[in-house]
C-alpha cells in the first residue's frame, strides 16, 4: 500500500490508500484556504477523474470514482498537488497508489 504526502505553507495533505481518503490540515490557520488538485489514472495511465478541493482548516475527502462506486480500484494512480487560494502556485504533483 502506497500513500502520498505533500506539504505547502505549513499545511499537510495526505492520500490514504486504505479507504481512498484525502486528508488536509492547514496547520497555521491564517485565513488562507488550502487548495488541492487531484487526478486519478487507471493502470494504463488513462486519466479517469479530476477533482479540486478547497479546505479552510481541516478536511477529509472520500475520493471515490467517476462511476459512483466509491472505490478506486487497486493499482490506480492518484496524483495531487497543493497550494493556497491566494496565489496560483502549486507544489509538484505528488504520486500515490490505491
43-93 per-position pLDDT tens digit: 999 999 899 999 988 999 988 765 566 688 999 999 999 988 887 888 899
Inter-residue contact 22 to 60 (CB < 8 Å): yes
State the DSSP string of 48-92: EEEEEEEESSEEEEE---TTS-S-PPTT-EEEEEEEETTSS-BPP
pLDDT of amino acid 29: 77
Kindly report the pTM of this predicted structure: 0.82
Q: Where are the domains of the chain?
A: 4-97
The architecture CATH gives domain 4-97? Sandwich (2.60)
31-49 per-position pLDDT tens digit: 888 999 999 999 999 999 8
Amino acid at each position: 500500500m502506497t500513500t502520498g504526502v505533500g506539504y505547502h505553507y505549513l499545511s499537510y495533505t495526505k492520500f490514504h490508500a486504505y479507504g481512498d481518503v484525502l486528508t488536509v490540515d492547514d496547520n497555521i490557520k491564517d485565513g488562507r484556504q488550502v487548495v488541492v488538485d487531484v487526478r486519478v489514472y487507471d493502470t494504463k495511465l488513462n486519466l479517469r477523474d479530476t477533482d479540486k478541493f478547497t479546505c479552510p482548516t481541516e478536511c477529509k475527502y472520500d475520493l471515490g470514482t467517476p462511476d459512483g462506486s466509491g472505490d478506486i480500484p487497486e493499482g490506480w494512480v492518484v496524483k495531487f498537488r497543493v497550494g493556497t487560494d491566494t496565489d496560483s502556485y502549486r507544489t509538484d504533483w505528488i504520486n500515490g497508489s490505491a
